[in-house]
Amino acid sequence: MNRPSTPLPQPAQAQQGAARSKSKTLTTWLAFVGGPLGLHRFYLHGFGDWLGWLLPVPTALGVYGIERVQQLGQDDQLSWLLIPLLGFTIAGCALRAILYGLTDTEAWNRRHNPGVDLQAQAGRTGWSTIFAIALSLMLGAAVLMASIAYSFQHYFEHQVEEARKISQ
């Protein structure tokens, strides 16, 4: 008996197609919760994504700035530069979470799930996605405003101090 030489689909191959499907909801939550560590970038693009590896750098520098303020006090000028890095990174990742969550289903599946139906479940928006968008908007706006206020306050305090030195 001659059998046709068509290979049967293997379970691993079927799972590989499902594993490539990227969830918009999960990506939105990863950008909101783990964005400053690059988790959303690694989920979408893999561990070879260089931007994902760069995101923890300003996060770590900002955390170092917070530690400097706790140890050296509010007059430490280096912390004035480092702390806003953390704030702007968190705000940027919150904005990215909002953009991911508001992406159209067809556009999401076309970009992140090529080869699947444009109306596939992975690109759909559910209530958990909307909740992540709302939290990202609230936290991101608050952190952005706090970072800007902190930066400008210390900058102008420094300018006033220098003006006093010149006038004496």
- Convert the pLDDT of each residue in 18-58 to its tens digit: 457 888 899 999 999 999 999 999 998 999 999 999 999 99
Helix, strand and coil percent figures for the chain, each rounded to 5: 75, 0, 25
- The tokens for 6 are 């068509």
- Give the distance between the most distant pair of CA atoms in the chain: 105
Q: Are 31 and 42 in contact (CB under 8 A)?
A: no
Query: Residue 22 and residue 123: Cα distance in Å, rounded?
Result: 8
Please state whether the predicted TM-score (pTM) of the whole model is above 0.75.
Answer: yes
* pLDDT tens, position by position, 80-99: 889 999 999 999 999 999 99
All residues at 6 or more sequence positions from 152 whose CB lies less than 8 Å from its CB, including other chains: none
pLDDT tens profile 139-161? 999 999 999 998 888 888 878 88
Give the Cα separation of 53 and 140 in Å (integer): 21
Residue 6 Cα to chain centre, angstroms: 45
**Integer-rounded Cα radius of gyration of the chain:** 23
